[in-house]
Amino acid sequence: MAFVARAAVLWTLLLGPTVALTVLAAHHTPLPGDAAVLRWAQGLPFPGQTLSEAVRAITTTQVVMATGGVMALLLALVGRRAEALALAAGIVLLPLVQSAIKELVDRPRPGPPWSEIRDGFTSPSFPSGHVMSPTVLYGFLAWLAATGRVPEVWRWPLGAWSTLVLALAGPPNVWLGVHWPSDVLGGWAWGLALVVPMAALAALLPRLAVAKPAPKR
């Protein structure tokens, strides 16, 4: 139960700044520093068009949900039922929470005179769905790998791939000019705000099963 208590404290500390950023994004576009960072990022050679489009292709909410469903099934098959249930719950909640925040904030995308648009988009800007979605999936998988909650043979490949996707998810969205930098920060923050209770649930479920009284005969 100590981990669950620590997770609750962490979630509370994380939620405050995340909500504050969300409120600011809803009332101010761009935020201080957004335009300058956006112009600077678009002038860099990295990540470039090809890598940016590849990263965005694997970080759409639909692809993340499909990948998460497969991973939940694999976790269940290797006996990690608590982790599978926590992942499935997060994947189900992800599009609902993400869509609600986007519609409530209703932030316009960047564009001229602030940026060159190098890719398409279909929804409001905050938070970045291409960042929030992979943060939920790969943030949770990275936690599983780091805490040894997956088979030993999975740990290094899963941890390395998850960390790589988490690191690469943000920059392409700014380089392509389809998100403000603060949208990316919001995506990481809201993604982590889902990962923390997912981790708490995965830790709590086995304890609940142990504490369940045996049926009377």
- Tens digit of pLDDT for each residue in 51-65? 999 999 999 999 999
The per-residue pLDDT for 206 is 87
Mean pLDDT of the chain: 94
In the predicted structure, residue 215 carries a pLDDT above the cut 60: no
The per-residue pLDDT for 122 is 87
Specify burial of residue 126 (Cβ count, 10 A radius: 0-12, 13-18, 19+): buried
Domain range summary for the chain, segments of one domain joined by +: 2-28+49-207
Q: CA–CA separation, 217 vs 213, rounded Å? A: 12
Mean pLDDT lowest among 22-26, 46-50, 185-189, 204-208 = 204-208
In the predicted structure, residue 213 carries a pLDDT above the cut 90: no
The per-residue pLDDT for 208 is 76
pLDDT band at 212 (very low <50, low <70, confident <90, very high): low
Summarize the confidence of residues 110-139 as an average pLDDT.
94
In the predicted structure, residue 90 carries a pLDDT above the cut 90: yes
The residue among 38 and 4 whose pLDDT is bigger is: 38
In the predicted structure, residue 214 carries a pLDDT above the cut 70: no
Summarize the confidence of residues 153-163 as an average pLDDT.
97
Q: CA–CA separation, 47 vs 53, rounded Å? A: 10
Is residue 10 within 8 A of residue 196, CB to CB? The reply is yes
The residue among 217 and 128 whose pLDDT is bigger is: 128
The per-residue pLDDT for 4 is 80
The per-residue pLDDT for 156 is 97
In the predicted structure, residue 127 carries a pLDDT above the cut 70: yes
Is residue 82 within 8 A of residue 5, CB to CB? The reply is no
pLDDT band at 147 (very low <50, low <70, confident <90, very high): very high
The per-residue pLDDT for 137 is 98
The per-residue pLDDT for 217 is 58
Q: CA–CA separation, 83 vs 85, rounded Å? A: 5
